[in-house]
Copies of this chain bind each other. A is one copy, B any other.
Amino acid sequence: MISALGEASADLGAMLDKILPRPDGQIEQPLFEAMRYSTMGEGKRLRPFLVLAASELFRVSRTSALRVAAAIEMVHTYSLIHDDLPAMDNDDLRRGKPSCHKQFGEATAILAGDALLTQAFEVLVDEETHPDPRVCTQLVRAMARAAGPYGMVGGQMIDLAGEGQSLSEAQVTHLHLLKTGRMFAFACEAGAILGKAPTSMRMALRAYAHDMGLAFQIKDDLLDVEASSADLGKTAGKDVEQEKSTFVKLLGLEQAREQAQMLCDQAIDHLGVFDGEGEPLRAVARFVIERQR
């Protein structure tokens, strides 16, 4: 699994390098540097991998899949840059190096996030991504919904608003469905959109992504308690410090582990519709709960 992620990551890196603005002595150079610094880092790049794995199911061209994967990684990176800001989670460390605002200052970090989000939409409607404009508009609609006020950003707001309060298990599940689940779902669905797949398969991929995404989040909560900052490449123990309502707090360690395993199995079950195809997606589901960072 790690080697498959690594291979996809190399191709994605080349695509991002092609897409992102190139610093070249312009006055606005720090903006372009910050965009690259955060996007080209050593992330797990799970979302792009999902796009590629889902796209394979429908024989989508590698270029189309890589371009959409790059757009999703740009949106994910923008969310991390803004999330790390002092006014938000105030995190100095990300992907094993100083977070964007520590390296470039807050103003540049805010703008780098804004620029990544904006340019990601441009990537989706480029003819190189897909020649059929109907496919492009579906991609834009699905990404905007996954990332917007009813998706990722809404989830971040719930996360912030919920600090210091006790949220119920249902509320925490809803929070993570929005904050990370919707973008995982879009990553998988993008493959189906590019491949003009039937609705049943599109829905199966969404269901897979929701369960896998929730398992991912429970594992994140477990790692925040169990791992060190050096292992994680980001600050450990933040959840307790910020009095966040986590699955570990709600369920306890043991039950949280069981829940993650159950969701992983359930995610894999949804892939039944692909008749034995989709092994990389099954591997992702297993990886998500076995990973140590």
Chain A, interface SS category:
helix
Do residues B153 and A114 form an inter-chain contact, with CB atoms below 8 A? yes
Instruction: Give a binary string over A50-91; 1 marks a CB under 8 Å from any B CB, 0 the rest.
Output: 000000000000000000000000000010001001011000
Q: Which residues of the other chain, B, contact A111 by a CB distance below 8 angstroms?
A: 82, 153, 156-157, 160
A interface size (C-beta, 8 A): 52
Stoichiometry (number of copies) = 2
Do residues B31 and A115 form an inter-chain contact, with CB atoms below 8 A? no
Do residues A140 and B157 form an inter-chain contact, with CB atoms below 8 A? no
A12 at the interface (CB under 8 A from B): no
| Of B133, B148, B149, the contact of A137 (CB 8 Å cutoff) | B133
Do residues B133 and A119 form an inter-chain contact, with CB atoms below 8 A? no
Knowing A30-B161, A31-B157, A161-B28, the reply to whether A148 touches B133 (Cβ < 8 A) is: no
Rounded to whole Å, the gap between the CB of A21 and the closest CB of chain B is 5
Knowing A122-B144, A133-B137, the reply to whether A158 touches B28 (Cβ < 8 A) is: yes
A255 at the interface (CB under 8 A from B): no
A35 at the interface (CB under 8 A from B): yes
Knowing A117-B118, A125-B140, A140-B140, the reply to whether A154 touches B110 (Cβ < 8 A) is: no
Rounded to whole Å, the gap between the CB of A105 and the closest CB of chain B is 8
Q: Which residues of the other chain, B, contact A117 by a CB distance below 8 angstroms?
A: 114, 117-118
Rounded to whole Å, the gap between the CB of A182 and the closest CB of chain B is 12
A269 at the interface (CB under 8 A from B): no
Do residues B87 and A154 form an inter-chain contact, with CB atoms below 8 A? no
Do residues B35 and A149 form an inter-chain contact, with CB atoms below 8 A? yes
Instruction: Give a binary string over A255-275; 1 marks a CB under 8 Å from any B CB, 0 the rest.
Output: 000000000000000000000
Q: Which residues of the other chain, B, contact A107 by a CB distance below 8 angstroms?
A: 87-88, 160
A171 at the interface (CB under 8 A from B): yes
| Of B28, B119, B147, B148, the contact of A157 (CB 8 Å cutoff) | B28
A27 at the interface (CB under 8 A from B): yes
Q: Which residues of the other chain, B, contact A158 by a CB distance below 8 angstroms?
A: 27-28
Do residues A154 and B28 form an inter-chain contact, with CB atoms below 8 A? yes
**Bound: A274/B261 CA distance, A:** 66
Instruction: Give a binary string over A134-170; 1 marks a CB under 8 Å from any B CB, 0 the rest.
Output: 1011001101110111100110111011100001000
**In the complex, residue of chain B having the shortest beta-carbon distance to the beta carbon of A105:** B87
A208 at the interface (CB under 8 A from B): no
A32 at the interface (CB under 8 A from B): yes
Q: Can you list 7 A-B contacts with CB-CB less than 8 angstroms, sorted by A residue number? A: A21-B150, A30-B161, A82-B111, A85-B110, A117-B117, A124-B140, A125-B141
